[in-house]
Amino acid sequence: MFQTTIIREAVAEGVGLHTGVYGHIRLAPAPAETGIVFRRVDLDNFPIEAQGHNVARVSYATSLMKQGVLLSTTEHLLAAIYSCAIDNIYIDIDSIEVPILDGSAEPFMQMLEKCGVRKLRRRRRYLKVLKPLEVVEDDPSMPGQVRRIGIYPADEFRVRCYVDFPHPLVGQQEVEMLVSPDTFRHLLARARTFCFERDIEPLRAMGLIRGGSLENAIVLTSEGVRNGPLRFPDEFGRHKALDLIGDLALAGLPLLARVEAHKAGHSLHTQLVSRLLADPSLWSITTSESALPESDAYLTALSPAPAAD
């Protein structure tokens, strides 16, 4: 397997969910061994690598910070890039937050489909998990219960994500899948961000969701949904799995591992990545970095997205 990048650029623009700041992003090809790198074009192209050591404040979204430069709400775009097995890419952005667009990863998948994927003359390196690692914490919303996440050895990249929200439309939902461009596109990409109507004012009071609207998040009322229809009956569980994959992208290399998340969230996801990377006895990096002959380079492209339901 070879490292990849995109063939051509693609752009998008929109408001950030939490800051409300309007911004533009451009996806651009990057050479082998670059990884996934954000560049703040409003700050002289300041680079922020999508890697665990740059994780900053994490609560309702995942933010990266490097030398005081912040970038918020990276998870949906990173989920699309990581699931599409794109190893090297520049994400040029002129604001502090990735646009939320429709609240899902579908607009980013459409951008990547326009970009196309190109294989590079360098072998892909994988982070292969050798020993299990688990992170557990108390669930403050359900006394006596815990939230947990674990990563386990496997020969492929699999996720299992379980959520349990006391709401008639949510309840217990579980997603289990092998992560590939096709499974991500069909099972997760269109699942949107959601929030509970009762949380809107408290979140606004905390300075969050300033860019939130009925166009970019599912709003759950006490009995149902304010802005239906849902795209999937279990859209909430699917979205949490999307968030999980976006946070696991911060491992910095494709994972060969099985990840199980039980009522986890951005904080647990990123704690898992940080603890994993901090302990090299838990993993190894497989496949050499040696350059390959020119003739091994070739072009490929992602297949088109499925029609909307």
- Catalytic residue positions, numbered: 266
Contact, 17 vs 200, CB < 8 A? no
CB of 217 vs Zn ion, minimal distance in Å: 9
Span of 11-19, 30-38, 186-194, 252-260 interacting with Zn ion by CB under 5 A: 186-194
Site string for Zn ion, 133-162 (x = CB under 5 A): ------------------------------
Considering beta carbons, is residue 30 or 250 the nearer one to Zn ion?
A: 250
Are 268 and 261 in contact by the 8 Å Cβ rule? The answer is yes
17: which DSSP letter? Answer: T
What is the closest distance, in whole angstroms, from the C-beta atom of residue 22 to Zn ion in the complex?
A: 20
Site for Zn ion in 240-269 (CB under 5 A): 243
CA distance 207 to 209: 7
Question: In angstroms, what is the minimal distance from the CB of 136 to Zn ion?
Answer: 22
What is the spatial distance between Cα 112 and Cα 304, in angstroms, rounded to a whole number?
10
Record the tokens describing residue 144, joined without a space.
């006596």
Helix extents (H) in the chain: 75-83, 106-115, 181-183, 197-205, 235-248, 266-278
- The structure tokens 């892909």 sit at 124
Residue of 193, 216, 267, 270 interacting with Zn ion (CB under 5 A): 193
Where does this chain touch Zn ion (CB under 5 A) — which range of 43-51, 130-138, 174-182, 193-201? 193-201
The secondary structure of 57-123 as a DSSP string is EESSSEEEEETTEEEE--HHHHHHHHHTT---EEEEESSSB-B-TTSSSHHHHHHHHHH-EEEEEEE
Q: Which residue is nearest to Zn ion (CB)?
A: 243
- From the CB of 116, what's the least distance to Zn ion, in Å? 26
Tell whether the torsion through CA atoms of 91, 116, 53 and 57 is positive or negative.
Answer: positive
Stretch that binds Zn ion, among 229-237, 239-247, 252-260, 294-302 (CB under 5 A): 239-247
What is the nearest approach in angstroms of Zn ion to the Cβ of residue 246?
Answer: 7
83 makes contact with Zn ion (CB under 5 A): no
Alpha-carbon distance of 218 to 282, in angstroms, equals 38
4 or 62: whose CB is closer to Zn ion? 62
- Of the pair 6, 189, the CB lying nearest Zn ion is at 189
Binding-site size, Zn ion (CB under 5 A): 2
Residues contributing to the site for Zn ion (CB under 5 A): 193, 243
